[in-house]
Amino acid sequence: MNSNAHVAIVGGGIAGASAAYSLSLTQQFDRVLLIEAEPQLAMHTTGRSAAVLTENYGAGPVRPLTAASLSFLHDPPESLVDGPLLHKRGLLTVATRPEDHAELEKQLAAGTKARHPIIELGTDEAQLLAPHIELTASHRTMWEAESHDIDVAALHQAFIRGLRLHGGEILTSNRVDSAHRNTATSNDKPWRLETTKGPISVDIVVNAAGAWGDLVATTAGIKPVGLQPMRRTAFMTASPFEGSGRFPFLVDVLHRWYLRPDGTQFMCSPADEIPSEPCDARAEEIDIARAIELINAETKLNIRSISSQWAGLRTFGPDRAMVIGPEPTEPSFVWCVGQGGTGIQTSPGAGQLVADLVTLANPGESFADTGLNVSELLPDRLRG
Ligand SMILES: Cc1cc2nc3c(=O)[nH]c(=O)nc-3n(C[C@H](O)[C@H](O)[C@H](O)COP(=O)(O)OP(=O)(O)OC[C@H]3O[C@@H](n4cnc5c(N)ncnc54)[C@H](O)[C@@H]3O)c2cc1C
């Protein structure tokens, strides 16, 4: 890397912010630019999540990336935060019907090997933790004590503060409309980005555009990887229970619904996955109505009204894993997309991995004991 190198990160959600922060920390770039189309950062999927950290969730590279993120999440640099990023919550998974017990056993088996294992709880013990569900003899439950709520706004802000402290720049209301390769003979930098506010020349482009990742690639002449945005619905409702702010996160073992206490309310979701185009996602009334019916049937919330509703796009690669790393035929175009349903809890690790792959060409020491197999993330796996 020459000392005059410039890097642009396209997309100011959690993926772009964490990558920009980690790239700025390397001190290998003269300019680190975070470019966001919207007037505010994090207003798409990042601002719409359930904000949960669970070490025992996700397949393939998700757990290694989560493991690599834990030290930042638990113990962020003091200069970047005003308080903790995590608040202990605990997660109770419920198998309601006998036919769901096999899935619970599968998840238990995977979770017993974890650093913080999942344990099965008897229904009496689980009932004390979760008065908002009626547990009967046909229920089985498992408990992950070390699950936390993440303060997503503070986490995103920590990356932004760190980026600014290390000299990075943030450009909002600035859509990247296209990217062009300058010719090898030109004296200009390799990439010319056409943006709302004018052209920008850089050496490296990091694509962290979430649901728009394939569109950004296409405008740069790079083959899409096959991202699929999936809409997920959520809403808030008042809690009918005293002290429910201390209740655990409650999730159905087959992920048909979940509830997260939030002060005197519950955030509820039918955990739906509805294919969508990249867009400013909105909750559909029919999905909210179905969710209320389901959650009322399975819990004691007795929802009659809701106070707010929203939807967000969880975007997946074709094999459901993230796509992180340089495009094989054009290594100065770097992917950081497909964060799916775990982009918040994996963000410190994913951002670090982008910086490692750009500057070292390999995962660095943060990934030493995580079991990361980087080939499960590299775009190479999706190129025939
Ligand atoms: C209901 C719900 C619950 C979730 N719960 C959790 C959870 O509990 N834990 C967890 O870890 N994850 C969770 N997730 C997933 C998590 O929110 C996402 O994985 C993560 O936010 C994705 O971040 P991102 O930066 O890739 O995308 P985004 O936040 O969408 O950011 C992409 C940005 O790129 C910008 N952009 C696009 N095109 C351009 C362009 N051409 N020029 C400039 N900017 C551009 C967009 O405006 C956008 O701001 C949840 C998601 C949803 C919807």
- List the one residue out of 181, 277, 267, 176 whose CA is nearest residue 227: 277
3 has pLDDT over 60: no
Render pLDDT for 172-231 as a digit per residue (tens, 0 to 9).
999 999 999 987 777 789 999 999 999 999 999 999 999 999 999 999 999 999 999 999
Residue 58 confidence class, pLDDT cut points 50, 70, 90: confident
Binning pLDDT at 50, 70 and 90, where does residue 335 land?
very high
Confidence of residue 2 (pLDDT cuts 50, 70, 90): very low
| DSSP run (H or E) holding 9 | strand 6-10
Q: How does pLDDT run across 83-121, given as a tens digit for each residue?
A: 999 999 999 999 999 999 999 999 999 887 778 889 999
- How many angstroms is it from 210 CA to the middle of ligand 1? 5
Q: Report the distance separating Cα 151 and Cα 94, nearest Å.
A: 25
Q: Across residues 123-148, what is the average pLDDT?
A: 95
Percent of the chain clearing pLDDT 70 (strictly above): 99
Looking at residue 120, its pLDDT comes to 96
Q: How far apart are CA 154 and CA 113, in angstroms?
A: 31
From the CA of 21, how far away is ligand 1's center (Å)? 17
**Ligand 1 neighbours by CB, cut-off 6 Å:** 10-16, 35-38, 42, 44-46, 48-52, 175-176, 208-212, 216, 232, 234, 269, 312, 314, 339-345
Residue 272's pLDDT band, with cuts at 50, 70 and 90, is: very high
Q: What is the DSSP letter of 26?
A: T
Average pLDDT, rounded, for the chain: 95
Separation between Cα atoms, residue 227 and residue 123, nearest integer Å: 41
Centre of ligand 1 from the C-alpha of residue 164, in Å: 21
**CATH superfamily ID and name for 91-145+228-316:** D-Amino Acid Oxidase, subunit A, domain 2 (3.30.9.10)
pLDDT tens column, 366-376: 999 999 999 99
Domain positions in the chain are 6-79+151-226+319-382, 91-145+228-316
Specify the residue for token string 């969730």: 57
Rounded to a whole number of angstroms, the distance between the first and last alpha carbons of the chain is 29
Q: How far is residue 264's CA from residue 243's CA, in Å, rounded to a whole number?
A: 8
Element (H, E) at 310: strand 308-316
pTM value > 0.95: yes
C-alpha of residue 44 to centroid of ligand 1, in Å:
6
Q: Cβ neighbours of residue 384 under 8 Å, at least 6 residues apart?
A: none
Query: Distance (Å, rounded) from C-alpha 11 to C-alpha 270?
Result: 28
Residue 1 has pLDDT above 50, yes or no: no
Lowest mean pLDDT among 43-52, 185-194, 209-218, 246-255: 185-194
3 state DSSP class of 184: coil
SS3 of 94, please?
Answer: strand
Please name the residue whose Cα sits nearest to atom 27 of ligand 1. Answer: 210
CA separation for the pair 215, 291 (Å, rounded): 32
6-79+151-226+319-382 and 91-145+228-316 have identical folds = no
CATH of the domain spanning 6-79+151-226+319-382, picked from 3.50.50.60, 3.40.50.720, 3.40.50.300, 2.60.40.10: 3.50.50.60
Helix (H, G, I), strand (E, B) or coil at 98: helix
DSSP state string for 131-158: TTS---TT-EEEEETT-EEE-HHHHHHH
Q: Give the residue, 3 or 73, on which the prediction is more confident.
A: 73
Distance 99 CA to ligand 1 centre (A): 34
User: Which atom of ligand 1 is closest in space to residue 340's alpha carbon?
Assistant: 19
Other CB atoms closer than 10 Å to residue 119's CB: what's the count? 13
Note the pLDDT of residue 276: 98
